[in-house]
Structure 1
C-alpha cells in the first residue's frame, strides 16, 4: 500500500536509508539525516510517500523544492513497487520540472525513472586522492599570496566567469554569503596576484567519511593554463589537512568538463563514483 509517510514510519525509513548506504550501487538522492528526530524534521515540509506491507516500509520517496522546480528523494526500495510509488509522487508536481539523481550502477532505479518520463541530463564523475599526494606542492607561486576570504564582488566575478550550474549563488545577499563561509564545515582558499584574485577552491568537510570535498574550483579564464588549478588543489588539500580526521580530497566533474577531468588526472586523482542527473519536464503526463 502506498500512502503518506507517518511519524511511526521513521524507524523503518531510517533502516531503508541505512540499507542504501551499505552498497554504492543503491545510491540515490536522499535525506541527509540518519537520526530519527533529524529525519522527521527534514521531512516535515516535503511530500513524503512510502510503500508498506505487514512487515513495514518497503520503499520511500519524497519531493522537495529545488532550483526552478522540485527534486526527487529516492526512490529507495527493498522490494517495493517503485513504478507505482513514482506515479503517486509525480501526481503532486503541479507542472514543475523534477530533478532526480542516481548512481550510474543503480540500474533498477534508473530504469524506473526513465519509465516515468525522466531523461538523463548528464553524468557527474567523482575523483579522490590522498592528501599527502597533493600537499607537497601547497605553496603560493612567486608574486602571489594566499587568502581565506574574498569580498563578495570578487567571489561573484570569479564564480560568474567559470562554467557551472550553481547560478543561484550569484543572487546571494551579503548576509547569505557571510553566513555560508562562517560555517565550520566550509572553507575558502584563494590565490591573489597583488590585490587581484586569480582563482579559488571552496571546500566542505565530511569528517564522518574522512574526506573533504572541493565543491567548487574557479580559475579566471584569462589566467588558465598557468598551473593555478594544480596549485589550488594542493592548497585545498593542505587546508583539509588541518582537520586530523580528514584523509582524502574529493573533486567532481560533469561529463562535458574535459579540462577539469584532465586536471584531476594530472594531479593524481582516481575515479571513485558516478552519479546520473535526470530531469522530467513539468509538462510530462503522469
Structure 2
C-alpha cells in the first residue's frame, strides 16, 4: 500500500537510510537527517510517501521538495514497490519538472525512474585524494596573489564567464553571496593578477566526514591553458589542510567536463563514485 508518511514511520525510514548508507550502489538523493527528530523536521514541508508491506512495515520511501524550477525527488529508496511509489509521487507533482539523482550502480532505482519516464541528463563523477598529498604542490605563481574573498560583482563576473550550468548563483544578491561565504564551513580561494581575478576555488568543509568538498573551480576562459586549475586545486587543498581534522578532498566533474577530469587524474585524485541526474518534465513542448 502507498500512503503519506506519518510521524510514526520515522524509525522505519531511518532504517532505510542506514540500509542505503551501508552500500554505495544503493545511493539516491535522500534526507540528510539520521535521527527521528531531524527527519520529522525535514519532512514537514515536503510531500512524503511510503510503500507499506503486508506486515505494515515501511518497505520504501520517496518525497518531493522544491528545487530550481520544479521539484527534487528524494528516493526511491527501499525494496518495496518502487514503481507504484514513483507513480504516486508524479501524481503529486502537479505537472512541475522533477529532478532525481541516483548512483550509477543503483540499477533498481534507475529502472524504476526510467519506467516512470524520467530521462537521464548526465552523470557526475566524484574524485578523491588525501589533502596532505595535494597540498604539497601548493605554490603561488610569481606576479599573482591569493585572496579569501571577492567582491560580489567580481565573483558573479568570473562565474558567468566560466560558462557553467549552475546558473542559480548568478541570481544571488550581493547580500546572499556575502552570507554564503560568511558561513564557517565555506572557503573561497581566489587567484588574482594585477588586481583582477583569473580564477577561484570554492570549498565546503565537512568535519564530520573528515572531508573538504571542492564545490566549484573556475578559471576565466582567457586564462586557461596556463596551469591555473592545478594551482587552484593545490591551494584549495592547502586551505583545507589548515583544518587538521580534514583528511581528504573530494571534487566532481560532469561527464562532458573533459578538462576537469584530466586535471583531477593528473593531480592524483581517484574516482570514487558516480551519480546520474534524471529529469521528468511534462512541460516540455508546451507553448
What TM-score results when the alignment is normalised by the length of structure 2? 0.96
Q: Given that residues 93 and 282 in structure 1 are in contact (C-alpha distance below 8 angstroms), is that contact kept between their aligned partners in structure 2?
A: no
Does residue 61 (structure 1) correspond to residue 62 (structure 2)? The answer is yes
Q: Assess if the C-alpha contact under 8 Å between 1:3 and 1:50 holds in 2.
A: yes
Larger CA deviation: 114-123 vs 135-144: 135-144
Cα deviation for residue 283 of structure 1 reads: 4.3
Structure 1 residue 151 corresponds to structure 2 residue 156: no
Aligned positions of 1:171-186 closer than 5 A:
171-186=171-186
Question: For structure 1, which runs of at least 5 residues remain unmatched after alignment?
Answer: none
1:208 is displaced (CA, Å) by: 1.8
CA offset digits 1:78-114 (Å, max 9, x no partner): x311001001100011111111000000000000000
**CA displacement at 1:242 relative to structure 2:** 1.6
Q: Distance in 1 between matches of 2:127 and 2:133?
A: 14
Q: C-alpha deviations, 1:242-269, integer Å up to 9, x for none?
A: 2211111111110111111111111111
- Quote how far apart the aligned CAs of 1:165 are: 2.1
Unaligned ranges ≥5, structure 2: none
1:36 aligns with 2:39: no
Aligned-partner Cα distance in 2 for 1:177–1:66: 19
Matched ranges for 1:6-17 at <5 A:
6-17=6-17
What is the distance in 1 between the residues matched to 2:178 and 2:38?
25
Residue 40 of structure 1 aligns to a residue whose secondary structure is helix
CA deviation string 1:178-225 (max 9, x = no partner): 111111111101111121011000001122221111000000000001
Equivalent residues in 2 for 1:172-251 (5 A)?
A: 172-251=172-251
Partner of 1:163, secondary structure, is: coil
Alignment of 1:41-56 (within 5 A): 41-53=41-53, 54-56=55-57
Deviating above 6 A after TM superposition, structure 1's stretches of 4 or more consecutive aligned residues are: none
Aligned to 1:99: 99
Secondary structure of 2:208's partner?
helix
What secondary structure does 1:188 align onto?
A: strand
Partners of 2:39 and 2:89 lie apart in 1 by: 19
Shift of residue 140 of structure 1? 1.1
SS of residue paired to 1:150? coil
Q: Give the number of aligned pairs.
A: 283
> What is the root-mean-square deviation in Å for CA atoms of aligned residues?
1.1
Q: What's the CA shift string for 1:105-164, capped at 9, x where partnerless?
A: 000000000000011100100011111221112121101111000000110011011132
Alignment match, 2:132? 132
Q: How many Å apart are 1:16 and its aligned residue? A: 0.8
- Supply the distance in 2 between the matched residues of 1:100 and 1:178 (Cα, whole angstroms): 30
Aligned to 1:73: 74
Q: Which residue of 1 aligns with 2:162?
A: 162
Question: 1:174 Cα shift?
Answer: 1.6
* Secondary structure at 2:136 match in 1: helix
SS across alignment from 1:149 = coil
Change (3 A) 1:99 1:238: same
Partner of 2:20: 20
Question: What SS is found at the alignment partner of 2:164?
Answer: coil
